[in-house]
Amino acid sequence: MADASSRITVLVTGAAGRTGQIVFKKLKERSDQFIARGLVRTEESKEKIGGADDIFVADIRDDKAIVPAVQGIDALIILTSAVPKMKPGFDPSKGGRPEFYFEDGLYPEQVDWIGQKNQIDAAKAADVKHIVLVGSMGGTNPNHPLNSLGNGNILVWKRKAEQYLAESGVPYTIIRPGGLLDKDGSQRELVVGKDDELLQTDTKSIPRADVAEVCIQALLNEEIKFKAFDLASKPEGAGTATMDFKSLFSQVTARF
């Protein structure tokens, strides 16, 4: 095992979320390269991902609460997100669409904007060398259907946080995945794009495990700092599974 000075200390926020859990686990498995920390909102979430001392419990909406978690880290991977809940009483047999809502105080404005801004500010104050932010495709279109979900304007607030990070002065990588799939990673050819152009194609979804891998690879590739890109995958079996991330990242030119 490499000594601590050559390993990268990484904090993953939203570490109990569906993508965050995968990132946290991958970092732990690569303990020769990384020292992993997680940040979650509740004790219950902490227990869910192992309950160890390297998991901090803090509310990202409280700028003071997250300060201890960022002390001494080299990199931050932001995977926090507001999560809409389905209103009870939806009967799929009757057709129509379910209605969604956000819990009070946990709207995208508070979580995806204020919560992410707080993380960026805390990381900057702690002299963090790299912030990887996972946003979403769809942000170029204010009328995107996801914005009407629970009247949350989720993509609008996510994009505001992305913009804030890009202007923060901290080296950043902004990853905007398409629709997230709960499928195996490392099986597909990954595709990068910009400005939501991939949404006009058939290549607009990606396994969470692949997003997780790209987050980690971003920490190891200097040339992807100060860059932003959309990320999707070809269907399994089409193309060749991406293994060379340096080559993938070399296709990215946009700073935002």
> How many other CB atoms are there within 10 angstroms of residue 243's CB atom?
10
Instruction: Say which residue the tokens 């959309």 belong to.
Output: 230
Annotated catalytic residue 136 = yes
Is the distance from CB of 100 to CB of 123 less than 8 angstroms? Answer: no
Nearest of 218, 252, 233, 229 to residue 185 by alpha carbon: 233
**What is the DSSP-derived secondary structure letter of residue 113?**
I
Query: How far apart (Å, rounded) are the C-alpha atoms in residues 220 and 149?
Result: 36
Look up residue 194 and give its amino acid.
K
> How many other CB atoms are there within 10 angstroms of residue 195's CB atom?
14
Catalytic residue among 136, 148, 205, 233: 136
Is the distance from CB of 73 to CB of 46 less than 8 angstroms? Answer: no
Backbone angles phi, psi at 35, to 5 degrees: -110, 115
Query: How far apart (Å, rounded) are the C-alpha atoms in residues 113 and 118?
Result: 9
Catalytic positions: 136
